[in-house]
């Protein structure tokens, strides 16, 4: 199993979800970060402007890519591990849609990618809500949030293992 913990920042209006950035980390220490050159910042609400857009690096940063380049680099990163891909995110539904839409309609998603992202928030509830690490100072940066998701996983999984371990 190859587990990947990710976060997407996006603009949404109740009808569309427009990817701004994605950060992904794996359990071996690998990281991937990309910012879309194709989102429309004028569609962003005040919260996204203040908490996401104002924190992005300059457009000269190599993390800025086309959606096609993000799609290819994301796929390469998450399929480089051994075994089937397992995606994890905190409140995962919107993140999954933002990623899946890089390929267009759901049927176009490559077979190597799961059709859903596992939800850390739900797993946290399932194991009794153990104390989690505090949010990072740079929260709402997709890569910082992906790293935080891995830290959350470590606490949640330890609690899960204690519950399912034979006594």
Q: Extract the tokens encoding 2.
A: 């190859």
Q: How far apart are CA 132 and CA 141, in angstroms?
A: 19
Q: How far apart are CA 106 and CA 115, in angstroms?
A: 8
Q: Extract the tokens encoding 64.
A: 């800025």
| Residue 40 marked ligand-binding | no
Q: How far apart are CA 74 and CA 32, in angstroms?
A: 7
Residues of each annotated binding site for Mg(2+): 7
Residues of each annotated binding site: 7
């Amino acid at each position: 199993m190859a587990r990947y913990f990710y976060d997407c920042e996006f603009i949404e209006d109740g009808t569309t979800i427009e990817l701004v950035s994605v950060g992904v980390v794996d359990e071996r220490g690998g990281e991937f970060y990309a910012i879309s050159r194709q989102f429309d910042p004028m569609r962003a609400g005040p919260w996204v402007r203040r908490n996401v857009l104002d924190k992005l690096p300059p457009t000269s940063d190599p993390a800025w890519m086309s959606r096609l380049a993000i799609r290819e680099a994301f796929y390469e990163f998450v399929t480089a591990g051994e075994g089937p891909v397992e995606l994890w995110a905190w409140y995962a539904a919107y993140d999954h849609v933002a990623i899946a839409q890089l390929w267009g309609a759901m049927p176009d998603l490559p077979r190597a990618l799961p059709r859903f992202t596992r939800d850390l928030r739900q797993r946290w509830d399932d194991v009794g809500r153990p104390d989690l690490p505090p949010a990072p100072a740079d929260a709402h940066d997709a890569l910082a949030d992906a790293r935080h998701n891995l830290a959350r996983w470590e606490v949640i999984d330890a609690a899960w293992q204690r519950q399912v371990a034979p006594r």
